[in-house]
């Protein structure tokens, strides 16, 4: 087996999640490659060195370009703030290296299109961190839909809400900067849009509304200086799917009481299926003619679950989903699989998000395929 050197850029929450996944995947699965945690990069040299030592990486860099140039690195994992995805991914692709980038792919449709074209030209494996799709119970839902258990799909109603920005005194961060992030739609909603496409298929048209509720926030925790906020705090949309289904979409980081409420309800002519990420090991299903919902519990009969537990009811968690995503990434790099969201699919998600922004701004229905990057 050939050795595959991993380079990780970023040491925040997602950097740690990636590091855990790369450490755990060899214990959970038999891999067609030998992993080496070759290099880690962080702008803070001290933190970079500390994390590299604690997480098992051989080398630490304070310059991410040096990590990309490192001949020991074959796959570059990007877990930085969104505005850095584009330059880092483009540099890695130019170096002919596989890229594993956190979502959303970019901060503009123009950047996403450039990244997709560069990936095609480089001919390397790319993946984007839409890890919720890798839940074995979500794959079960997809099989039920595709197998006709719900009949003709009529509707998809989805919501992704959290409350980490609900307090108006919560300070400004890079997530509040339009050129760096993109608001609740980009931060949370992109996951839900990707999920809707994964389960139901293409969205043809959208109508939307968005709002900035807290127009100012402290420049930093405890600061009296205020910064203006123009990104969306919440966004709602109506969706028309290519298969004729209709849908609703909502993303908000202002809803008190919710911590990771990625949820959906899918209704068909033969039943209704629902899911909530805060109860990520189960589905609820009501078949036509029944009085109410039954619970479908995840267990080792679902592909992927048994790699972590031989018993039902013992539950998977967020980091297991990330490990499952990394496993599919590594299988693709080894030429033994195609599962996962590549740059092409991530571009489709970005185009859908861009269409929602246009629809909200212009207060009209927008055909998704007509939305183009600026300058085209």
The per-residue pLDDT for 375 is 57
Dmax (CA) of the chain: 62
Identify which of 321, 348, 337, 333 has the alpha carbon closest to the alpha carbon of residue 130: 321
The per-residue pLDDT for 259 is 96
Q: Where in the chain is the domain with CATH 3.40.50.720?
A: 3-131
pLDDT tens across 268-300, in order?
Answer: 999 999 999 999 999 999 999 998 999 999 999
> % helix / strand / coil in the chain, to the nearest 5?
35, 25, 40
**Alpha carbon 301 to chain centroid, angstroms:** 25
* Domain formed by 3-131, architecture: 3-Layer(aba) Sandwich (3.40)
The per-residue pLDDT for 369 is 96
Identify which of 43, 50, 93 has the alpha carbon closest to the alpha carbon of residue 68: 93
**In the chain, which stretches have pLDDT less than 70?**
1, 375-376
The per-residue pLDDT for 178 is 81
Backbone phi and psi for residue 147, each to the nearest 5 degrees, phi listed first: -80, 0
* Angstrom distances, CA of residue 153 to CA of 4, 118, 295, 305: 42, 36, 20, 27
Please tell me the distance from the alpha carbon of residue 319 to that of residue 54, in angstroms, as a whole number: 18
Place of tokens 């030209």: 121
Identify which of 354, 342, 352, 331 has the alpha carbon closest to the alpha carbon of residue 129: 342
DSSP 192: H
Cα torsion at 347, 349, 352, 358 (round to 10°)? -70
Length of the chain: 376
β-partners of residue 236 are 209, 250
* Angstrom distances, CA of residue 54 to CA of 23, 130, 320, 337: 12, 26, 20, 31
The class (CATH top level) of 136-279+281-316 is alpha beta
Q: What is the pTM of this model?
A: 0.94
Please tell me the distance from the alpha carbon of residue 314 to that of residue 308, in angstroms, as a whole number: 9
Q: Where in the chain is the domain with CATH 3.30.360.10?
A: 136-279+281-316
Place of tokens 């039943």: 271
What is the tally of helices (H) and strands (E) in the chain?
Answer: 10, 17
């Amino acid at each position: 087996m050939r050795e595959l050197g991993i380079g990780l850029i970023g040491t925040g929450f997602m950097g740690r999640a990636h590091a855990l996944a790369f450490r755990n995947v060899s214990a959970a699965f038999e891999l067609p490659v030998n992993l080496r945690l070759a290099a880690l990069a962080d702008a803070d040299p001290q933190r970079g060195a500390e994390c590299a030592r604690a997480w098992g990486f051989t080398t630490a860099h304070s310059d991410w370009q040096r990590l990309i140039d490192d001949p020991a690195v074959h796959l570059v994992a990007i877990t930085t703030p969104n505005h850095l995805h584009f330059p880092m991914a483009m540099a890695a692709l130019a170096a002919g290296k596989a890229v594993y980038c956190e979502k959303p792919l970019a901060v503009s449709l123009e950047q996403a299109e450039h990244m997709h074209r560069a990936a095609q030209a480089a001919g390397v494996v790319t993946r984007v961190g839409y890890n919720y799709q890798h839940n074995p119970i979500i794959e079960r839902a997809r099989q039920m839909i595709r197998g006709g258990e719900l009949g003709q799909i009529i509707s998809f109603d989805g919501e992704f809400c959290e409350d980490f920005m609900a307090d108006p005194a919560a300070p400004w961060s890079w997530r509040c900067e339009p050129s760096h992030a993109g608001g609740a739609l980009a931060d949370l909603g992109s996951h839900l849009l990707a999920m809707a496409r994964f389960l139901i298929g293409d969205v043809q048209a959208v109508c939307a509304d968005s709002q900035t509720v807290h127009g100012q926030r402290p420049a930093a925790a405890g600061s009296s200086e205020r910064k203006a906020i123009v990104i969306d705090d919440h966004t709602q949309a109506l969706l028309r799917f290519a298969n004729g289904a209709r849908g609703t979409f909502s993303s908000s980081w202002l809803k008190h009481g919710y911590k990771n409420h990625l949820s959906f309800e899918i209704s068909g002519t033969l039943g209704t299926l629902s899911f909530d990420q805060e109860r990520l090991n189960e589905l609820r299903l009501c078949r036509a003619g029944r009085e109410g919902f039954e619970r479908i519990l995840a267990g080792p009969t679902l592909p992927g679950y048994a790699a972590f537990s031989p018993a039902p009811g013992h539950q998977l968690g967020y980091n297991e989903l990330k490990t499952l995503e990394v496993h599919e990434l590594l299988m693709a790099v080894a030429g033994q699989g195609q599962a996962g969201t590549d740059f092409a699919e991530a571009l489709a998600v970005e185009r859908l998000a861009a269409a929602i922004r246009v629809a909200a701004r212009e207060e009209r229905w927008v055909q998704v395929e007509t939305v183009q990057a600026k300058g085209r």
